[in-house]
Amino acid sequence: MTTNYSPELDNIDVFLSPAKALQRMARVYERDGITQGLRVDAFKPVREAWAAAVFLLGYSQLNKRQYWLRENPTKNESPDIFAISINTPLPEEKGVRREIMEVEVCEYDEHAKTNIADHIKEKLRGKAYNPFTFLLCYIHAPKKKTRLIDVINGLKNIKTTVREIWLLLHLDAEPVGNFVTARVYLRDANLEKTNLQYKGNYVQLARIPQLEMIKPIRGSGRTVDFFSMGRAYVALPKGKRKLTSKAK
């Protein structure tokens, strides 16, 4: 079977570590405040990369792989995030292989009027994704109780082309480190196989040694070689100016 990747993937030369995406969001919080970072549309790409980075840090602990990611260079096109993992070839394979994951991010904030399952269904309605796409639903409101079994049952009969659907929840009043990721949908799987969770602290996970950026190059060898490319700088979008009152 032939796999069709999104053409935007060919326009990405360099992929960044999840830790770099976390640093960018932290700078937004420091410069513009947590409220603006979580709500202003200008920061949506940074926020989506942050959510994907937290998910990938947790996911890497489940499958023992490291991931690098980049935002989609084409705005308002799916997927939101491309992620790759460089894998050592199996005995029957000729060279190093690159695992590609496409991540689509949706947000569920404290003002949402529908339940999580219906919110996800609306996000996916009428859309076609590649069969290896992960949908990640970032839940902003930690105080709302989320019963995973209700979400899983609510998505049981959904018709979608995505491979998996995950929830991302932070466990504190503000996103400061502690989080849970939970899989609530796995295509063609029963409840026992669908249920998969990881709980951790992304600040601690980001300290695991990993190159800040990589540039995959096609080769013919059977080993993975990494060379340092230095440090990456990615400019942040500008947010709304903070209003100041003039003294009379």
pLDDT at res. 217: 64
| 221-231 b/e (C-beta count within 10 Å ≥ 16 → b) | eeeeeeeeeee
Whether the per-residue pLDDT at 45 is higher than 60: the answer is: yes
> How many Å apart are CA 88 and CA 209, to the nearest integer?
18
Q: pLDDT exceeding 70 applies to what percent of the chain?
A: 82
> How many Å apart are CA 129 and CA 104, to the nearest integer?
9
pLDDT at res. 230: 63
For the chain, what is the largest distance between any 2 Cα atoms, rounded to a whole number of angstroms?
78
> How many Å apart are CA 71 and CA 48, to the nearest integer?
8
Whether the per-residue pLDDT at 248 is higher than 50: the answer is: no
pLDDT band of residue 142 (cuts 50, 70, 90) is low
Helix (H) / strand (E) element for 35: namely: helix 34-39
Mean pLDDT of the chain: 84
pLDDT at res. 143: 57
pLDDT tens profile 212-243: 888 776 655 666 565 666 666 666 777 665 54
pLDDT tens profile 106-125: 999 888 889 999 999 999 99
Angle at 191 between CA 187 and CA 197, to 5 degrees: 90
